[in-house]
């Protein structure tokens, strides 16, 4: 495991060209990247995260037109890309038969999720490479996504040869919104994320169908999570939003002035920090379900669900 500076792009490229894995910052969360053309490298990504082979991995490009060789473009996809790329959106499209991207990314299906991250470090990295990067979030499967190099280090500590490109804390802090346009007449939202459904529908002029997409790996801290709390006990850790309630053993505030963008950016890091304390459980104050707040609530609800 090695952390390198954001300026060290030459070394980062070398790692990737020689078939290694590189964790890198994006606008949303850190990605665990590797050569998307190589079956061997993509297999290594799945193994490092302990990810189910049935859960597809999206692929990062430096621009939308670079994805033309790999997926069937339709006009809704073009519109989405025009409005939101580079940005916190993943678009799922039919994969082209002659695409060089490893089929392992599609996890047995015939589609590919594509993404153009809005982060200058990620973009210059992608521009320098002559292959796209298969890149799931850089965390062990079923753990929280990571928003700093240090969190990647902690979550993937068993991944010996991993190199981490340190780009500081990710701007948005919540994963990309996933829209499935593989059937153009049925645009579906597969995952709520940093761009709200309202914004997509408004800017693109079409409605998204709610898909009950159950992600394989939910965002689970080790401690129990209780959401929408109005009171806390002495042994609890509190994740506050706005004016904090009193009485908890530990307290971190997602945003003391109730700013949802700031809350999203802090969410995973603060959950990780509270999870590392000796508190009995993590209690989260109510967060309004508007804009990016919808995605925050979605993540918290999934984290709060008991395993069965």
With CB under 6 A as the rule, give the number of residues binding ligand TXA. Answer: 25
Comparing C-alpha atoms, which of 202, 208, 216, 206 is closest to residue 189? 208
Containing 197, the helix (H) or strand (E) segment is: helix 197-204
**Residue with CB nearest Mg ion?**
137
Residue 56 or 86 having the CB closest to ligand TXA: 56
Burial class from Cβ neighbours inside 10 Å (0-12, 13-18, 19+) for residue 200 reads buried
Query: Tokens at residue 200, please?
Result: 């997509």
Q: What is the closest distance, in whole angstroms, from the C-beta atom of residue 289 to ligand TXA in the complex?
A: 20
- Only one of the segments 10-18, 134-142, 202-210, 266-274 lies at the binding site for ligand TXA (rule: CB under 6 A); that segment is 134-142
Polymer length in residues for the chain: 308
| Residue choice 115, 223, 265, 272 for contact with ligand TXA (CB under 6 A) | 115
| Residue choice 21, 23, 29, 254 for contact with ligand TXA (CB under 6 A) | 29
With CB under 5 A as the rule, give the number of residues binding Mg ion. Answer: 1
Asked if residue 269 binds ligand TXA (CB under 6 A), the reply is: no
- DSSP assignment string, 94-159: EBPTT--S-GGGGTTSSEEEEE----HHHHHHHHH-SS-EE--BSS-TTSPP--SHHHHHHHTTT-
Q: What is the closest distance, in whole angstroms, from the C-beta atom of residue 136 to ligand TXA in the complex?
A: 3
Q: What is the closest distance, in whole angstroms, from the C-beta atom of residue 244 to ligand TXA in the complex?
A: 29
Q: What is the closest distance, in whole angstroms, from the C-beta atom of residue 199 to ligand TXA in the complex?
A: 16
Contact of residue 15 among Mg ion, ligand TXA, none (CB under 5-8 Å per partner type) = none
* Beta bridge mates, 3: 164
How far, in Å, CA of 80 to CA of 121, rounded? 23
Asked if residue 104 binds ligand TXA (CB under 6 A), the reply is: no
Distances (CA, A) of 48 to 96, 145, 155, 216: 27, 14, 11, 16
Parallel, antiparallel, or unpaired: how do β-strands 282-284 and 225-226 relate?
parallel
Instruction: Report CA dihedral (72, 76, 82, 88) to the nearest 10 degrees.
Output: -90
CA geometry: angle 126, 213, 142, nearest 5 deg? 65
Q: What is the closest distance, in whole angstroms, from the C-beta atom of residue 251 to ligand TXA in the complex?
A: 28
Residue 86 or 136 having the CB closest to ligand TXA: 136
Residues 9-28, interacting with ligand TXA (CB under 6 A): 26, 28
Asked if residue 58 binds Mg ion (CB under 5 A), the reply is: no
Comparing C-alpha atoms, which of 13, 216, 47, 217 is closest to residue 133? 13
- Only one of the segments 110-118, 151-159, 204-212, 228-236 lies at the binding site for ligand TXA (rule: CB under 6 A); that segment is 110-118
| Residue choice 176, 196, 255, 297 for contact with ligand TXA (CB under 6 A) | 176
How far, in Å, CA of 169 to CA of 253, rounded? 17
Residues 118-177, interacting with Mg ion (CB under 5 A): 137
Binding site for ligand TXA (CB under 6 A): 26, 28-29, 31, 55-58, 90, 92, 106, 109, 111-113, 115, 117, 135-137, 175-176, 178, 190, 215
Binding site for Mg ion (CB under 5 A): 137
């Amino acid at each position: 495991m090695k952390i390198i500076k954001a300026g060290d792009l030459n070394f980062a490229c070398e790692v990737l060209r020689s078939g290694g894995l590189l964790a890198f910052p994006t606008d949303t969360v850190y990605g665990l990247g590797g050569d998307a053309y190589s079956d061997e490298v993509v297999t290594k990504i799945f193994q490092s995260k302990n990810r189910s082979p049935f859960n597809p991995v999206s692929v990062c490009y430096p621009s939308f037109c670079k994805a033309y060789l790999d997926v069937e473009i339709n006009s809704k996809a073009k519109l989405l890309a025009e409005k939101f790329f580079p940005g916190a959106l993943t678009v799922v499209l039919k994969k082209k038969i002659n695409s060089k991207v490893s089929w392992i990314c599609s996890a047995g299906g015939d589609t590919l999720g594509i993404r153009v991250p809005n982060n200058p470090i990620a973009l210059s990295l992608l521009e320098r490479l002559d292959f796209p990067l298969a890149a799931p979030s850089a965390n062990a499967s079923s753990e929280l996504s990571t928003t700093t190099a240090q969190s990647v280090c902690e979550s993937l500590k068993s991944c010996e040869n991993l190199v981490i490109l340190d780009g500081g804390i990710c701007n948005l802090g919540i994963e990309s919104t996933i829209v499935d346009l593989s059937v153009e007449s049925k645009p579906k939202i597969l995952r709520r994320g940093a761009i709200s459904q309202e914004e997509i529908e408004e800017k693109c002029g079409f409605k998204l169908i709610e898909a009950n997409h159950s992600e394989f790996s939910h965002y689970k801290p080790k401690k129990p999570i209780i959401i929408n709390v109005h009171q806390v006990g002495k042994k609890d850790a509190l994740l506050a939003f706005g004016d904090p309630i009193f009485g908890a053993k530990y307290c971190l505030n997602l945003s003391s002035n109730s700013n949802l963008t700031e809350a999203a950016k802090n969410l995973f890091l603060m959950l990780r920090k509270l999870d590392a304390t000796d508190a009995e459980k993590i209690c989260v104050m109510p967060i309004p379900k508007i804009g990016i707040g919808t995605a925050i609530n979605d993540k918290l609800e999934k984290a709060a669900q008991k395993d069965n």
